[in-house]
Amino acid sequence: MEKVTLKDKTFKTFIPYEKISAAIDDVAAKINSDFRNCDDVPVLLCVLNGSIMFMAELMKRLTFPLEVVSLKLTSYEGTNTTGKVKQAMGLTADISGRRVIIVEDIVDSGNTIVELKRIMEERGAAESRICTMLLKPDAYRKDIRLDYVAMDIPNDFIVGFGLDYDELGRNLKDIYVLDE
């Protein structure tokens, strides 16, 4: 089992890239099925920075015309959520009247999802669906339906494949869990 050290913490391999890739294949197939014959051009919304790797992998597998838009929200400091979601960068395009697929790296408390749905409504999206690479079902307590979930994981702190610890570890191709 491979280990990596980021700042003051050591992490061990948790989900190898091959398993991540297979899960993305499955979630992309569901999205392709739902959007296969669409007449419009849906928006794929990348929630920066964590979703970049998932977004890139997912986009390659989607077979319908789409537009890419980004937004940056922050809610973490170190390994802890602050409980407050702040918009660090606004939407990079107008989404009014558009169908939006929100691409998230991970859903835990759900606070970010609530804020994303609020922003979509405020900006006039015709519809918004949630696609997340990872879900921590033990931590998620919101009533908002998650339309596409690649994998469920335990409520542990993880890094890699876009996820960070104080901005480090996003470039790791596997997902690692805190080694305690």
Active site positions, annotated: 108
Backbone angles phi, psi at 145, to 5 degrees: -70, 135
Question: Token pair 């390994």 is at which residue?
Answer: 79
d(CA 180, CA 171): 22
Half-sphere CA count of 31, side-chain side, radius 13 A: 34
Beta bridge partners of 78: none
